[in-house]
Chains A and B, each alone.
Chain A
């Protein structure tokens, strides 16, 4: 029993927070409810701190739930991402149009995080599937949070349909695994010993992979991304593009390592094609966008391609570089979203063309945004360079030189469009730039944390060393 509490500590803490916030919102006096953000953030911060305490590894529920050192690291990474989202969403939530339902925002995001944790720790397809649903269905209502905005509702409708469709694909794949490996085969430890690359199992893998690919928005499963990212409230978009995508990547990573190892030879072909398509198409479409949120949607599609590039090698080195890549992507991308949402909340402007002359009026914001964009593009002193470097190295290590070369060309293309934003801010002139803004302290804290991460993760090699050290009891 004591062991179970240790193993499921992050999940139990999340559930406790959900229940507490629910009751708090119901019964607390109005005076206290005004501080819902502070209460939610403080509780969540405490639970993250507890997450860093040493804990046991092992499995519970007869192999249904597994905890390794790496799942713990990964869960902490996702929690930090969510905390950054909380910090930057405070202004938007305090608006009088949304403040009456802000507790729900915290409750729902925390429950989705719980779903992601279950998905990552799952040792059985049933739990994996339920975790995935828990990580996507409540998100639908958050995407449609501004319910009087047509765009938000449209995005919500698209998101729920895509979620249902991709779950259907995945369930079909799982049912084929059931057929090919028997009822016991739904447990991952049994299935991995029964995989032998028969056509039936490969078909199952393809369907299963397509279901997950929708969640990570890999090309050709990406068509929903831009519309949903644009329509959803900016903080929810940030959550979708970083935490939600990161969870799906981590889950796929553990599965590919733990479960699909016998099919790896075949899976590499599929992933090769997916990487090339995802990086290239994501980049080409990103160049054409003017809406910042659509731009970030395509940029995040192409980033997902780089993450997958790390996974193709399937070595422990590759796995640690994927986690490192995601960590760096998390701070850089959340930093960009923080700036975008500050600008949107204060001036209502989200287009790149609106950012012209931003440097004159808001020099700090523009410099910070530039640093994050450089990190995302992979310019040397920042963490983004190192994370890209490790991912490329992991692929080259296994002989994927052509793939590395294609990805490298795409990096140059991506620099072009990241610099377009920088050019708009620093060089282009505007008749009426966004006026000088006051940034609230919560967003400032979020920006500072992201900036420290972007600079620190690159220079301080201890992080990568930690990730690539003992943590590989996958």
Chain B
């Protein structure tokens, strides 16, 4: 009886930890601290922003496609230092977290829905920029949760002008 309770507590703690992680992830992107965002991944991480149309058909092309933290870091660096795009505010709302289970190597599978709004300075209102699902694998590095995989699968059929900042 006690061990079942322990297991439930462990599951709740893990869920809370992933929830906190996602809140920190959203804050890093919303505040456009992109180097901090890149640090939330493991060295061998896979990160893709892909349309649901492509994902459902098994087609691999993504808007952003990174198969290592180095590539994620390069994207962050380019956006912070060299890329030219109109200034904007983003707001990531992450919810409906589900912890799905553990892989043989200890990675934790999870999913969460996301809503991304964007305010461009030429219009007063926030627009719905993207709606989708994160399909994740988390792994611990030195005790801290990191993303080994985040597939951002968006439902939206069109992107308003450009996806400039990560999802």
A and B co-occur in one complex: no
